[in-house]
A and B are shown apart, each in its own frame.
Chain A
Amino acid sequence: MLQATVPAPIELLPPAAPRSPGYWETVARRFLRDRVALVAALVVLGLLLMAALAPWIAPADPYASSMLRRLKPIGFEGHPLGTDELGRDMLSRLMVGARLSLFMGITPVLLAFAVGSVVGVTAGYAGGRVNSVIMRTIDVFYAFPSVLLAIALSGALGAGMTNSLISLTIVFIPPLARVAESVTTQIRTRDFVEAARASGASAFTIVRVHVLGNVLGPIFVYATSLVAVSMILASGLSFLGLGVKPPEPEWGLMLNTLRTAIYVQPWIAALPGAMIFITSIAFNLLADGLRAAMEIKQ
């Protein structure tokens, strides 16, 4: 008999913990330790709050113009951030403008996240020929730079907010689908998916239970970083007159209408740009922090 003297099974266990922290608890703990990401999250939260409460907290009516008070500098009495080319209060317009700008930044990314995840996970899990057909189709969109694609689609659909939402969504589906496909392909070859197949589960059940939980996180992180791009593109569309129509306050549109004032009041003209900049940086740093916190340690 070989190995006749096998040692009696001794359980070499770590001391029993009352309950182990779950995955999301670990992520939250790591995220809270990351100062930069935390600040970025607070900035994003502040912006969202500001947008939500804008109609109530804005000091003045963002549509009320005054020919006498055009292009007043920052710190002018009654207008802490000055006035624009029609004498409207800049602070109020920036606050109310956050609603449309954030909406135009976040909505297309969310829609594209939903569509892109479905397309990418399908391609990644199916593999083989299905994957080739879907991904080569997606590749066609990569032939166009995203700015050009957004402008072309918006131009073809016609100006207006809904159409620019649609065109931005279409612009973001290919990159999200590609990320979804690559993370799904990685997960699909793992043994736990094989084991799930060996248990007789259908493809749909395996995707729901074993694939989505492992791929949605990384896709979502990537989507967060796209919010900044979407905001900038939306602002660009508004700037070109393809998005939001005046007199609606929207940061990109404000940048456009104020550009003639750049020699008179350069600081006022730069304010909407500064808001776009702060928002996009905050979303990017937030995405970075999320990615770092969600990395699986072994």
Chain B
Amino acid sequence: MNATDVGGPAQPLLAVRGLVKHFPLKKDVLGRGGGVVRAVDGIDFDVRKGETLGVVGESGCGKSTTARLLMQLIAPDRGEVVFDGEGVGSRALPLKAFRRQAQMVFQDSYASLNPRLTMEDSIAFAPQVHGLGRKAAVARARDLLARVGLEPSRFAERYPHELSGGQRQRVNIARALALQPRLVILDEAVSALDKSVEAQVLNLLLDLKDEFGLTYIFISHDLNVVRYMSDRVMVMYLGQVAEIGASETLFQAPAHPYTRALLSSIPSMDPDRRTEQPPLAGDPPNPIDPPSGCRFHTRCVHAEAVCSARGPQLGPVAAGQSVACWMHVPGSGHSAAPVALREAA
């Protein structure tokens, strides 16, 4: 049941266009409240075949909602997800067929395993759903346990509470791989682990990626880890994409003020380069009532009149790097913007 490549290597594995998810808030008895949380507010991006796309941002910026939208665990309000050229949920790629090719690893290693099932039963569940016989599914589960570094004879018949966090997360990875997917979404998959265990699991993920030819979407708030893992990085702020680009370019020459602020929040190993200044003041604004114009203008040191008036679109600044900031749009009216060669349409 190996999934086959449809559109060739040049076609993005996943193309996301105009994805929107608003969560309505319940009105109280008197009809007050009833706003919407703009968790994901119109995002576009591509995931290329065989790459790792890192997704970073503060808590509540819509990273996890995006992951759940991509997996179709919650229905988007608007927008489309195209997997290898076929719209997800279309006749050419029904939901069940898509789910065989895209899997997810969750943050909480304990909550994501059924406490009443043994490890081999947990891993063998999905293949059985897709028609594999019980014996073959269990054999595959044991094989995968070995591949993620857990001796099957010791772990196959254990229950989740008998394993450590790192071991459980290895099982979750094995479970995600049980359907032989092409895309794996890792939603803060290593964030809850100890640093040494985290490093082991990260290396395991890199090995598995090579071995099975996987594509990853790696969601994390840990910038070092994202840099280590990712080929390209997408920076999210309040449900929108602030910047997306090749990992090295983005980390060395961040174009968006928010990306710069995020990067300067990484503690320096050099004592002489420690900063006393907080890189970002305060918490992100409330996504129920986001700021006008550019979402970031309330915390941005470069904010000018144009920033609160209109929201910038994601546009290219360098090869493979796009940013949503008026400072990079010629003739935008921002004082730092490049001079317009011709009048912007």
A residues in contact (CB < 8 Å) with B: 2-3, 6-7, 9-13, 16, 19-20, 22-23, 190-192, 194-202, 205, 209-210, 213-214, 296-298
A282 nearest CB across to chain B (Å): 28
Given A12-B166, A20-B159, A209-B125: 11 more A-B contacts, CB < 8 Å: A2-B227, A3-B228, A7-B196, A9-B204, A196-B126, A198-B73, A199-B103, A199-B130, A214-B115, A296-B115, A296-B161
What are the 6 A-B residue pairs with the smallest beta carbon separation, nearest first?
A: A199-B126, A191-B112, A200-B99, A213-B116, A200-B96, A191-B106
Partner of B73, one of A13, A190, A197, A205: A197
* Bound Cα distance from A23 to B157, whole angstroms: 11
B residues in contact (CB < 8 Å) with A: 68, 71, 73, 95-96, 99-100, 103-104, 106, 108, 110-117, 122, 125-126, 129-130, 149, 154, 157-159, 161-162, 164, 166-167, 172, 175, 179, 196, 199-200, 202-204, 224, 227-228
* Bound Cα distance from A197 to B161, whole angstroms: 22
Q: Establish whether residues B73 and A199, one from each chain, have CB atoms under 8 Å apart when the complex forms.
A: no
Report how many A-B pairs have Cβ atoms within 8 Å. 98
A274 nearest CB across to chain B (Å): 40
Chain A hits for B95, CB < 8 A: 200
* Bound Cα distance from A210 to B122, whole angstroms: 9
Q: Establish whether residues A205 and B129, one from each chain, have CB atoms under 8 Å apart when the complex forms.
A: yes
Q: Establish whether residues A201 and B129, one from each chain, have CB atoms under 8 Å apart when the complex forms.
A: yes
Q: Establish whether residues B106 and A196, one from each chain, have CB atoms under 8 Å apart when the complex forms.
A: no
* Bound Cα distance from A122 to B52, whole angstroms: 39
Chain B hits for A197, CB < 8 A: 73
Partner of A192, one of B73, B114, B199, B227: B114
> Which chain B residue lies CB-closest to A10?
B200
* Bound Cα distance from A201 to B172, whole angstroms: 17
Chain B hits for A213, CB < 8 A: 114, 116-117
Chain B hits for A19, CB < 8 A: 157
* Bound Cα distance from A17 to B227, whole angstroms: 39
* Bound Cα distance from A79 to B11, whole angstroms: 92
Chain A hits for B129, CB < 8 A: 199-202, 205
A contact patch SS: loop
B contact patch SS: helix
A-B contact pairs, 26 of them (CB 8 A): A6-B200, A7-B200, A13-B167, A19-B157, A20-B159, A22-B159, A23-B115, A23-B159, A190-B112, A192-B111, A192-B113, A192-B122, A194-B73, A195-B106, A196-B125, A196-B126, A198-B71, A198-B73, A198-B103, A201-B125, A201-B129, A209-B114, A209-B117, A209-B125, A213-B116, A214-B114
Chain B hits for A9, CB < 8 A: 149, 200, 203-204
* Bound Cα distance from A9 to B147, whole angstroms: 13
* Bound Cα distance from A191 to B110, whole angstroms: 9
A267 nearest CB across to chain B (Å): 49
Q: Establish whether residues A298 and B110, one from each chain, have CB atoms under 8 Å apart when the complex forms.
A: yes
Partner of B111, one of A3, A22, A190: A190
Partner of B224, one of A2, A214, A296: A2
Q: Establish whether residues A298 and B227, one from each chain, have CB atoms under 8 Å apart when the complex forms.
A: no
Partner of B228, one of A2, A196, A210: A2
A261 nearest CB across to chain B (Å): 53
> Which chain A residue lies CB-closest to B176?
A195
Q: Establish whether residues B116 and A200, one from each chain, have CB atoms under 8 Å apart when the complex forms.
A: no
Q: Establish whether residues A195 and B175, one from each chain, have CB atoms under 8 Å apart when the complex forms.
A: yes
* Bound Cα distance from A12 to B112, whole angstroms: 22
> Which chain A residue lies CB-closest to B195?
A3
Count chain B CB atoms within 10 A of each CB in A20, A213, A297 and give the residue with the most. Answer: A20
* Bound Cα distance from A2 to B251, whole angstroms: 12
Q: Given A195-B112, A198-B71, are A3 and B199 neighbors across the interface (CB < 8 Å)?
A: yes
Chain B hits for A205, CB < 8 A: 129
Partner of A6, one of B103, B125, B159, B199: B199
Chain B hits for A6, CB < 8 A: 199-200, 202-203
Chain B hits for A202, CB < 8 A: 129
Chain B hits for A10, CB < 8 A: 200
* Bound Cα distance from A176 to B71, whole angstroms: 34
Q: Establish whether residues B111 and A191, one from each chain, have CB atoms under 8 Å apart when the complex forms.
A: yes
B182 nearest CB across to chain A (Å): 14
Chain A hits for B125, CB < 8 A: 196, 199, 201, 209-210
Chain A hits for B179, CB < 8 A: 199
A283 nearest CB across to chain B (Å): 25
> Which chain A residue lies CB-closest to B121?
A209
Chain A hits for B224, CB < 8 A: 2-3
* Bound Cα distance from A209 to B164, whole angstroms: 24
Chain B hits for A7, CB < 8 A: 196, 199-200
A280 nearest CB across to chain B (Å): 31
* Bound Cα distance from A152 to B204, whole angstroms: 66
* Bound Cα distance from A195 to B162, whole angstroms: 20
Chain B hits for A11, CB < 8 A: 149
Q: Establish whether residues A210 and B200, one from each chain, have CB atoms under 8 Å apart when the complex forms.
A: no
Q: Establish whether residues B159 and A200, one from each chain, have CB atoms under 8 Å apart when the complex forms.
A: no
Chain A hits for B113, CB < 8 A: 192
> Which chain B residue lies CB-closest to A193?
B114
* Bound Cα distance from A109 to B158, whole angstroms: 34
Chain A hits for B115, CB < 8 A: 23, 214, 296
Chain A hits for B175, CB < 8 A: 195
* Bound Cα distance from A83 to B203, whole angstroms: 82
> Which chain B residue lies CB-closest to A197?
B73
Q: Establish whether residues B100 and A200, one from each chain, have CB atoms under 8 Å apart when the complex forms.
A: yes
Q: Establish whether residues B99 and A199, one from each chain, have CB atoms under 8 Å apart when the complex forms.
A: yes
